[in-house]
Structure 1
């Protein structure tokens, strides 16, 4: 088995991956604002899903491609990730995200608010619940493809990217469907717009933790069910992350 890269290289992969996520994802919001809405809401949602899928393909085998402080914290809470590495991962994710937002500001000013997230058509409490719920669902999908050998590992990037795109498509107009503290923190700092930021820090973290607990309950319950037919070779693939 090939040894995974040392911590410094994995941290670098997280920084680069999160830079790309924020640059492409929030960049789609900025381009929409600058160019007269050529992408539309669906295009922005697709951009977030696609860039996450691409980054998982690129860096999943190196760092795990967390790209999200809430995911790193939840992995550690669920004992799927060393706690001593959480702080370096989060620092790298935030640094990559902030660098991407300031790069966008240098190119386009504060067009589109640089993709900063705010609740619309719902109060702060509702937005908090929605962000937590979205992140819980995302975390369940991440855990399924990253830690369960019964999941189809080769489709991990598609499953996670598809989940993000779907949730952004449905709930994006209401909360921005951040699901990622670094994704919301970076444009808030670059645009100088920190109103409502607490929602997008607390909600995803709480949701990711809830997702770990819920998936643990569901997985344990499934382990107690009668044996299922023998899996195919595809179903027995090791997870890609």
Structure 2
């Protein structure tokens, strides 16, 4: 006779149960509102900060630019998780309203799922902004963007295999350049990226917001922000398809005058699977420019206190 199943453990058996993996502190973690960052003024954290300089906010410039940490196994594990988001985000969605609703619902779930490991950037725009905001080191930035782009490329190849053609259209990565000039497209991308970064950092990274709504609501608010940007930019300009607008064309009706827009890694993956457009620089230069401007804002009006205080605890950050 089989022994009875035991669902309650006690004594020595209870102590043998596995414990959750320790979360590596990271000041650029979206949604946690610095819940998992440390105090750089605490002498007990010196060894940790030597290994992970971005475990505390406002990284010294020499540490932010140093590449000596790029071989850290923990960074590579976190970066590998960053490839998952673009892989599943590069898909065919329908018009801007549905695209916005989808982003509002799906993005928070991906942030909750990947946040404990990588901080849930899932987008080169957020990673670049975290670097210029002095919340992430250059090694982390390089690895994250590399794996995000890799994930987008894999998604593009999967779409090519699914559609059995290179001439497919993915919403949010095209605008009609016969109706919208490159300068106008750059202006829209830059403005939207800056708004996305500013609002996402305000609700997902500002430590002062932790006492207002806690770390759990941050990812939900970030999803609402992206959904709103998706919806608004989808109809604000004729010929500009926004972040998730659908072009009602046959998959094989490729037009070289269509410009791709949206998440840089996502649109890069689309181009890998289909065709590269001549205006792809906009999708990298616009978020880079917005990140630099936002970084300047963070420098002059930082949400962190840079003064050393004798009685500061880890919970302050």
Match of 2:152 in 1: 97
Of Structure 1 and Structure 2, which has the larger fraction of its residues in helix? Answer: 1
| CA apart distance, 1:147 | 2.7
Q: In the alignment, is the contact (CA less than 8 A) between 2:172 and 2:241 conserved in 1?
A: no
| CA apart distance, 1:128 | 0.4
| Consecutive unaligned residues in structure 2, runs of 5 or more | 1-20, 25-72, 244-260, 306-314
> Is 1:83 equivalent to 2:151 in the alignment?
no
Q: In the alignment, is the contact (CA less than 8 A) between 1:69 and 1:180 conserved in 2?
A: yes
Q: Distance in 2 between matches of 1:117 and 1:20?
A: 15
SS in 2 for 1:106: helix
Q: Distance in 2 between matches of 1:10 and 1:158?
A: 21
Q: Distance in 1 between matches of 2:172 and 2:97?
A: 17
> Is 1:118 equivalent to 2:174 in the alignment?
yes
Q: In the alignment, is the contact (CA less than 8 A) between 1:14 and 1:67 conserved in 2?
A: yes
Match of 1:176 in 2: 242
Describe how 1:14-33 pairs up with structure 2 within 5 A. 14-22=82-90, 26-28=91-93
Q: Distance in 1 between matches of 2:302 and 2:141?
A: 24
Match of 1:130 in 2: 188
Q: Distance in 2 between matches of 1:92 and 1:188?
A: 16
User: Highest CA radius of gyration, 1 or 2?
Assistant: 2
Describe how 1:138-177 pairs up with structure 2 within 5 A. 138-151=196-209, 152=213, 153-173=215-235, 174-177=240-243
| Consecutive unaligned residues in structure 1, runs of 5 or more | 29-38, 224-236
| CA apart distance, 1:238 | 9.4
> Is 1:49 equivalent to 2:49 in the alignment?
no
| CA apart distance, 1:137 | 1.1
| CA apart distance, 1:48 | 3.1
TM-score, normalization: structure 1?
Answer: 0.77
CA 1:127/1:238 → structure 2, altered by over 3 Å: closer, same or farther?
farther
Cα root mean square deviation, aligned: 2.7
Structure 1 range deviating more: 73-82 or 207-216? 207-216
Match of 1:234 in 2: none
Q: Distance in 2 between matches of 1:79 and 1:189?
A: 31
| CA apart distance, 1:105 | 1.7
| CA apart distance, 1:52 | 2.1
Q: Distance in 1 between matches of 2:142 and 2:192?
A: 24
> Is 1:188 equivalent to 2:256 in the alignment?
no
